[in-house]
Structure 1
Amino acid sequence: MREAGEIRVKKMSAHRHPYEHQSEALEVLGEMDKHSSFKSVLVIPTGGGKTLTACWWLLKGALNNNKKVLWLAHRQMLLEQAAKTFEDNAFSDVMTQRSGFTYRIISGAHQSMQEVQPGDDLLIVSKDSLCKRLKFLNKWLKKETEIYVIIDEAHHASAPTYEKILQHIQNRVASVKLLGLTATPFRTDTRYLSDVFPDDIAYKVDLIDLIKRGILSMPYFEECQTELVLTLTDQEKKQLMVDDFPIEIAEKMANHKLRNAAIVRQYDKEKYGPTIVFAINRLHALVLKSLFEKAKIRCGVIISRETDDILEMKQLVMENESIILDYQLGKIDVLINVNILTEGIDLPMTRSVFLTRPTTSAALMTQMIGRALRGVKAGGTHQAYIVSFIDDWQDQVKWVNAKTLLQDREEIVEEMGDEKEETQKMYEKISFAKLEEYIHLLDSSIDTKALESIPFIKRVPLGMYAFTLVDRGIERSHQILVYDSTKRRYDHLIAQLPTFFDYHHVHEEITSIQLLNKLTEICARRCFLGEMIPSYDERDIQALLRYFSRYREAPPFIPLDEMERKSLDLSQVACQIIEKNMTRAQQRAYIDSLWNDPEQLFSIYFHKKLFFVQQLNIELRRCLKEEENKQR
């Protein structure tokens, strides 16, 4: 697409609908957008559509409401992918208030910062191009009070260049809404992501969850032992621990004839299909290309090269794009790359990856194996082969194992016991269901005095009904939280449902909105009279009716363990703080210890520390008031 111009909104409905995890993420981002500013991260594994999710959110919200968006990335391919995603998804049912918006791509291979205009709606910018010419951003920011900043592949966001850019923007704009996108929320240098995104992870879905849902393909792991034995100096070990291959080691691996022959010999087109090979360096990629071609295997090489020469960069980008297109069209079977295809670009036809370079980085390994994990629902394959080539390092370096990386979560579950994992999942669902309540308590325009007036323990659910329904082709999870105030009412409704459906001659699944609304109104009048704090939600009654109409039985009720429930009582935490007469510093340390303690449920139940602290403050004020009343 062009380097700059206008994207016209297509006067038709979007041709695709979000997956369940994308719908969940969009709901959370929508709620988060109600805050004046935030610094948070969206975590969706490679192949799960994190770029598309962010673009949908921005098209429907920020750009639709005439807000400016700055999209930052560290590779040119990521910039072009983002621009195309915006263009492909600008539909009239997504953007209801605008007929179009302007964009501009800035990088060494595109336009320069000098060409930025104050009226540009969307800037898609290379972070290096921006960092060198930050002053040219000032005219774009001049009259803005609110701006959206997106950092693609946000595990790089702790780099000094990003820090400099963000500081420059924050000094000029009062309200900055910062969202990082990543598949791998790992630390990549001496700083943590939490330094850049203190509001934590807005939404996260695991790789294994997407595999189970069919969005990502089922991985099959193979290990091939090479005959390469390597001995390292202490300095080389230090370099490899930060994933930096010493030149001599890299050359020895790249030139090892038996190792390279084993890599090429392993490839079977019928079994592995379109395959991406991750090479060590440029020399290694070219050697492998020569060997593949001798074996009559069609292949190509793409290489990332740092250069300040704009003409050289544009030529390199054009060459890489041409080779990638050949791979997409099936003209080559093996795509050998160095430092490019770990991030961003969408190649769903890939059935296998060959890991010919080891890594100590969990982030890099996740991205490499993710290249082959595009599932059938996402236009990919049922299964994927992850082939690792194992050298003999005599246990001198702690390499990341591809198979172990995917299985870590399940192994931890086995060590902790299924019960603890299920408990965590349950409280995560409760946390998600209570997001609206948390947001209301933060909104000064909403009257929450009634909710705040009851003892905190009565705001902790007794349990929940948890089930899944299909809504317009999308599976949606429902969690109906049941409190002291509503337990008797729900029990009554559940008991009445069989005769209620017979009486109203409902013998098939409810599909009519009119009928559903009518039955919901009757149930509300019959079973939910009187004052309830917290109250019921008619949407929950509708979900119950839809479930019963389909399965002719009540959904499962999951009770909370009473001891765990009481452990969440913030009034007890508040009383402890007051009784011990803690100073502000002591309070902060105590709150941090509760939030970070893996044995506590606070971080799971409240989802965000902001919610935890805000509700604890409410309980502190209540306790202090009670203490004052006692003294009178």
Structure 2
Amino acid sequence: MSAPVTRRVKTFSWNVVPPRVTRQLLLAVYGAVKDDGAVDRVRKLDDKALAAQAARVFGTSGINKRHRDVTTPVLRSAWLPGVAAQELIDFARLVQLELTGKARAQKLRTKRDALAFLAARRATDTFKINLSKFFARLNKVQRTVTGRAPAAPAVAGPVGPRKLAGQGQPDPRTPYPHQEQAWANLDALTEEEQGRRAGLLVLPTGAGKTYTMVHWLLRRLARDPDVRVLWVADQQELVEQAGRVFEELGPTMPKGTTREIRVLHGAADSVSHLGSDALDIACVTRQSLVGAQFDQGAQKRVATYLQRPTVVVIDEAHHAVAPQYHRLLDFMQEHASRTVLVGLTATPWPAGTGQVKRLLERFPTRVAAVEVRDLVRSGVLATPVIHTINTDIFVPITTKEAARIVNQDIPGDVLRKLDQEPRTRTLVRTWVARREEWGKTLVFAPTIENANKLGDAFRDAGATTWVVHSRADEPRREAIAAFRKFDAPSVLVSVGMLREGVDLPDARTAFLARPTTSRILMRQMIGRVLRGPSAGGDAHAHVVDFRDRWGADIDILAPADLPDLHVEPENPTEPEYRLPPILDEVTQEAIGEDILRRIEAAYEELWRVALPHPGALLTTRLVGFYELGEVNVPVLDHCQAAWDQLVHRALGHIKGHGSYSMVFDDCPVPRPAERDVKAVVSFCEAYETEPPLVKVSASFSIRAVARDLVDQPAMTEAQKHAWLQQKWASSLARAAFPSYQHFVEEVTRAAFQLMNGATGTEPETWPVTPSQRDGRPVLSERERDLTHMFSATVAEGRTLLGSDSEYRHLLGAGALPRYEWTRTRPRGLWAYWAPRIAGRNKGTPIIRVNRILKATQELVPDRLIQALLWHELCHHLLPGRGHDAEFRRLEALWPDLMEQGARLDRLHEEFDLMANPRKRT
């Protein structure tokens, strides 16, 4: 490597821009978004503060693309008149070259000519770009930088062949059981004589994928001198890393064994070396291997290399479902009969419907598959501790942007909205406050501009910091190497360059400042800090999740959404308090935080639109979860029949109309979030089979908690608080309620009713017990029309409320909810009020009455159904209030409420409500 040299360079600086111009540029930006507070602050800033603020808003390289529309008029009116005459004339002539007609021939001899010419130009994109570049060029200063002498051009990778010479040395690493099992499975794969020899090795990040594969390959090469290796990856760093591991482990081959290895990509050796018969191991990027079109020349090189028996390794194999890979792998399988294909990945769930199926078709044999939880228990991976930091940054989202995010990860123009000074301060302040605990920290930034600002802010706060991205001044390799060597708390900020193929063994903390909807990206970011004590790391890894407020219902992932991490989240308000696990009532094993978070997401529908407390909230039972690999989807008891219907429809066993979410329109809240419905449908389409349902059992009942509270001996307020806190934290209540306070209020309300004698009906719930098969009759359905009963209920309700009631207008035409019988017989509830979940009338409220009540008038009188309807109409009058005192007051206006409530209770005693509805009375 060449010696460091110092040199003088010119770089843009806001300090040399006239403060008057800088102020007008900032005022234009803040005025465009109508931020009056910021406008007032800018007017008061001194010259130095103006320059600093402009660097934060526009960037350190001039005016960025995002602000060109707003700043172009300011540059024309406030800045161009101050430019020197010759500079201005030269710029005007440059603009003139883009034109045709008379303007192209106009004479520009004076500054006045140039100004008039530029003032007459339309603000086209080309003009804006040229003007912003001209502005940046004329506002540069000289500074001294330290770099490398340019005499010897640096290369990104090793050049020339290297010899691996076996010396019979012992393996420098002690293999883990999962690696030894993988080697045995790889041996079995190569010995198969029929069918395609292709397998997938799935190991989580930090579990040693590269070492596992290279160790086995060297043993294979030592046994058979005719075998060669083709290692393919998308990134240069990945193939270089593979080459380093081959060199590290090469001496473990038997004495006298030699093999030639080359690294092939645009900045290392040429792919033409694939034609050399002496080459045994080729580590090559896919781009270099196939070129632009995978033309005949590229095909000939691949075919020539595969003339000998070859083990082809596809690193980060989840990319192999891409069309660019299809042609390459299809060609290999057609032109090489003695090839073994092995895919390596930590995330075997490529995005897109059917992609998992394609991946498994390409790699049909599972060579290894290890669960993260097992590696955490064995110390190979660290136990992740999740810290949640709310940034309080609001991210406005348009309808078009929301639609794009649904179909892909968050695009760059949306991520740029996160580049806000308060957010940057929050990140830096969080690190500085606990720098010794965080240690060496990886910060995943959303954009290059934001990464640069973060780097400056961390340095200003006294942190040793490196920044790596595609346009960074310091080469990526040198920055990462310096971070590796630094033995103290420090920060490495990156944009899209640390997710794959980077080994940072002593990185202890990941700052997730880059939000994502991609599980693969989330795993890659977290995986960079999960090296455990058995692998030279720490027992715990810190994952700091920075949460923003999004202006649309977007599924921004959290670390707890990954099913195999099994994290114990840190309470954001009490750093020393850990939430206890919620246990399966049968096995006493902890239920995953990812499942609890998805139940919480289902309940968000309730709190987001201020619904009343339905029965599923007062009594909730988790019966299992669909294990989909990349996600676990909870199944609640009251939605289980709808899930069965969805799966059969997704597999084509039954026909359906409308969206898949409509299947759950008949269910009360909590209903599955749309993302869960899509996940199950995608699994069915990808695997063409039912998803495995893992049975778990966890229940929660507000009444049961209230009853326990009433039965407790006398407690102080502190003891009562501790008792309720434990009940909330260790049950599904913490997923069902938006806060502990909401939970306490509901329990207190239920306890009050128990102590003072419950009044009113409870149509949203009735006791569910297994059928006793004791001969009790079954309620048989008859034709019953809800319309006249609903109309009669509304008319009587308006009378009961009186003409002066503030609620009366809500029972008028145009304000009433829809009503209908349920399509199925939901267990555990008589009626409920909720919005439609999908379809043309999505969001409109509807009252549903359990069709089990469509029995004869003698068994289920109209007055009983009217009492139920009145109860649900009271929820319509008081949405979000639950069964509070005002609700009970309105409900009690119904004249025969108690009589009909008692009749409801007798129905459960007299009839078998759990039996097959086809039976007749």
After TM superposition, the score normalised by the length of structure 2 is 0.43
- Tell me if structure 2 keeps the 8 A contact 1:119–1:140: no
Equivalent residue in structure 2 for 1:182, among 342, 345, 353: 345
After TM superposition, the score normalised by the length of structure 1 is 0.61
* Structure-to-structure mapping, 1:81-230, within 5 angstroms: 81-92=241-252, 95-96=253-254, 99-116=257-274, 117-132=276-291, 135-136=297-298, 138-139=300-301, 141-142=303-304, 144=307, 146-198=309-361, 199-230=364-395
- Tell me if structure 2 keeps the 8 A contact 1:105–1:111: yes
Counterpart residue identity of residue 259, structure 1: R
Q: Does 1:273 align with 2:439?
A: yes
Unaligned runs of 5+ in 1: 306-315, 423-591, 601-632
Q: What is the percent sequence identity of the aligned residues?
A: 30
Counterpart residue identity of residue 60, structure 1: R
Per the alignment, do residues 599 and 214 of structure 1 end up closer, same or farther by CA in structure 2, a change over 3 Å counting?
closer
RMSD over aligned Cα, in angstroms?
Answer: 3.1
Q: What SS does structure 2 have at the residue aligned with 1:89?
A: helix
Q: Does 1:328 align with 2:484?
A: yes
Q: What SS does structure 2 have at the residue aligned with 1:61?
A: helix
* Structure-to-structure mapping, 1:195-594, within 5 angstroms: 195-198=358-361, 199-254=364-419, 256-267=420-431, 268-304=434-470, 319-330=475-486, 333-394=490-551, 396-406=553-563, 418=587
Counterpart residue identity of residue 118, structure 1: D
- Tell me if structure 2 keeps the 8 A contact 1:64–1:98: no
Q: How far is the alpha carbon of 1:136 from its aligned partner?
A: 4.2
- Tell me if structure 2 keeps the 8 A contact 1:73–1:79: yes
Q: How far is the alpha carbon of 1:138 from its aligned partner?
A: 2.7
d(CA) in 2 for partners of 1:372, 1:366: 11
Per the alignment, residue 57 of structure 1 pairs with: 216
d(CA) in 1 for partners of 2:215, 2:325: 24
- Tell me if structure 2 keeps the 8 A contact 1:285–1:336: yes
Unaligned runs of 5+ in 2: 1-156, 569-580, 592-685, 695-921
Q: What SS does structure 2 have at the residue aligned with 1:334?
A: strand
* Of 407-416 and 114-123, the range deviating more from structure 2: 407-416
Q: How far is the alpha carbon of 1:200 from its aligned partner?
A: 4.3
Q: What SS does structure 1 have at the residue aligned with 2:386?
A: strand
- Tell me if structure 2 keeps the 8 A contact 1:8–1:99: yes
Q: What SS does structure 2 have at the residue aligned with 1:350?
A: coil
Aligned length: 419
Per the alignment, residue 41 of structure 1 pairs with: 200
Q: What SS does structure 2 have at the residue aligned with 1:157?
A: helix
d(CA) in 1 for partners of 2:217, 2:392: 51
Structure whose alpha-carbon radius of gyration is higher: 2
Per the alignment, residue 638 of structure 2 pairs with: none
Per-residue CA deviation, residues 48-84 of structure 1 (Å, 9 max, x unaligned), is 0011101111111246413121111111111111001
- Tell me if structure 2 keeps the 8 A contact 1:113–1:137: no
d(CA) in 2 for partners of 1:599, 1:387: 32
Q: How far is the alpha carbon of 1:404 from its aligned partner?
A: 3.2
Per-residue CA deviation, residues 344-374 of structure 1 (Å, 9 max, x unaligned), is 2111110100000111111111111111110
d(CA) in 1 for partners of 2:519, 2:586: 24
Per-residue CA deviation, residues 70-121 of structure 1 (Å, 9 max, x unaligned), is 11111111111100111111234xx348611111211122122223323311
- Tell me if structure 1 keeps the 8 A contact 2:265–2:284: yes
- Tell me if structure 1 keeps the 8 A contact 2:388–2:544: yes
Q: How far is the alpha carbon of 1:418 from its aligned partner?
A: 3.9
Q: How far is the alpha carbon of 1:35 from its aligned partner?
A: 1.3
- Tell me if structure 2 keeps the 8 A contact 1:342–1:368: yes
d(CA) in 1 for partners of 2:277, 2:416: 49
Q: How far is the alpha carbon of 1:302 from its aligned partner?
A: 0.8
Per the alignment, do residues 20 and 71 of structure 1 end up closer, same or farther by CA in structure 2, a change over 3 Å counting?
same
Larger RCO: 1 or 2 (CA < 8 Å, sep 6+): 1
Per-residue CA deviation, residues 278-329 of structure 1 (Å, 9 max, x unaligned), is 0111111101001111111110111146xxxxxxxxxx79811111111011
Per-residue CA deviation, residues 29-53 of structure 1 (Å, 9 max, x unaligned), is 2222211442221111110001110
Q: How far is the alpha carbon of 1:270 from its aligned partner?
A: 0.8
Q: How far is the alpha carbon of 1:153 from its aligned partner?
A: 0.9
d(CA) in 2 for partners of 1:175, 1:35: 11
Q: How far is the alpha carbon of 1:146 from its aligned partner?
A: 3.3
Q: What SS does structure 2 have at the residue aligned with 1:72?
A: strand
Per the alignment, residue 67 of structure 1 pairs with: 227
- Tell me if structure 2 keeps the 8 A contact 1:232–1:396: no
Per the alignment, do residues 53 and 407 of structure 1 end up closer, same or farther by CA in structure 2, a change over 3 Å counting?
closer
Q: Does 1:598 align with 2:692?
A: yes
Q: What SS does structure 2 have at the residue aligned with 1:263?
A: helix
Per the alignment, residue 541 of structure 1 pairs with: none
